[in-house]
């Protein structure tokens, strides 16, 4: 199994890169999806969150009210730490299971772990390489305003809440420049795939 860690700041084109790699045949494991799955109704993690933060964080249907929980932990480092202590182990266990399943089904699989907070979470998975998507901050802000309907102030705040671009670039084995035309991004992904494919073929 060849494991790629894919990360990038908000609106840096990470989803576009993941989709292109999937089109080439890579298995995508999405950390955002996993983080939602582990707190679905009936899960031990959701039960633990409700015990820690109170039943008010549950919707009428028993699912997690993310806005309510966010209001409790945002800006409160101690409470955020308690939440992470519940969620992160569950995410790690689910991720390990998915990785093991992918490897068991195809030992030659190229697996992409799509994880926005790879730098912040400091998750070590012995990646064969780390791919970082990068675009100028003004381009990312424009995308958030156009595609997500955010104000410039909100977009800047979201970027400011994440790890710095310098920290992400410091862990990168490969940087995909997503600041230009879509085809420019896709060409870089295609070249990455061709190189990985050649490497695996030579093993």
CATH of the domain at 49: 3.40.50.300
- Say how many domains are in the chain: 2
Pair (60, 116) in one structural domain: no
Predicted confidence (pLDDT) per residue in 118-148, tens digit: 887 766 668 999 999 999 999 999 999 999 9
Pair (182, 118) in one structural domain: yes
Name the domain boundary from 107, 136, 170. Answer: 107
Phi-psi region of 25 (alpha: psi -120 to 50; beta: other; left: phi over 0): left
Pair (95, 148) in one structural domain: no
Pair (150, 197) in one structural domain: yes
Name the domain boundary from 82, 107, 132. Answer: 107
What are the structure tokens assigned to 17, written together? 């890169």
Pair (50, 88) in one structural domain: yes
* Predicted local distance difference test score (pLDDT) of residue 119: 85
Predicted confidence (pLDDT) per residue in 18-63, tens digit: 999 999 999 999 999 999 999 999 999 999 999 999 989 999 899 9
Q: How far apart are CA 192 and CA 169, in angstroms?
A: 17
Residue 17 · residue 184 · CB < 8 Å = no
Residue 121 · residue 115 · CB < 8 Å = yes
Pair (4, 73) in one structural domain: no
Tell me the three state secondary structure of residue 17: helix
Q: Whole-prediction pTM value?
A: 0.87
Pair (84, 137) in one structural domain: no
- Tell the burial category of 68 from Cβ atoms under 10 Å away from its Cβ (0-12, 13-18, 19+): middle
Pair (132, 165) in one structural domain: yes
CA torsion angle for 59, 60, 62, 65 (degrees, to 10)?
A: 0
Pair (43, 92) in one structural domain: yes
Name the domain boundary from 50, 81, 107. Answer: 107
Strand ranges of the sheet holding 129-134, from the earlier edge strand across to the other edge? 27-30, 110-114, 2-8, 129-134, 174-177
The range of the structural domain enclosing residue 74 comes to: 32-107
* Predicted local distance difference test score (pLDDT) of residue 122: 65
Pair (39, 114) in one structural domain: no
What are the structure tokens assigned to 138, written together? 């003004």
Q: How far apart are CA 79 and CA 95, in angstroms?
A: 24
Pair (92, 150) in one structural domain: no
């Amino acid at each position: 199994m060849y494991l790629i860690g894919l990360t990038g700041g908000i609106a840096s084109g990470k989803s576009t890169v993941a989709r292109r790699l999937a089109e080439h045949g890579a298995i995508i494991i999405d950390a955002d999806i996993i983080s939602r799955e582990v707190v679905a109704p009936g899960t031990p993690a959701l039960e633990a969150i409700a015990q820690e933060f109170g039943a008010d964080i549950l919707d009428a249907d028993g699912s997690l009210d993310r806005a309510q929980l966010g209001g409790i932990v945002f800006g409160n480092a101690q409470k955020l730490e308690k939440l992470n202590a519940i969620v992160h182990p569950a995410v790690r266990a689910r991720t390990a299971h998915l990785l093991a399943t992918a490897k068991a089904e195809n030992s030659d699989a190229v697996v992409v772990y799509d994880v926005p907070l790879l730098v912040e979470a400091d998750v070590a998975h012995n990646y064969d390489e780390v791919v970082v998507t990068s675009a100028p901050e003004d381009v990312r802000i424009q995308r958030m305003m156009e595609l997500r309907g955010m104000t410039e102030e909100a977009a800047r705040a979201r970027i400011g809440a994440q790890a710095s671009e310098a920290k992400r670039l410091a862990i990168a084995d490969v940087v995909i420049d997503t600041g230009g035309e879509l085809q420019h991004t896709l060409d870089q992904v295609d070249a990455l795939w061709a190189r990985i494919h050649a490497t695996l073929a030579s093993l």
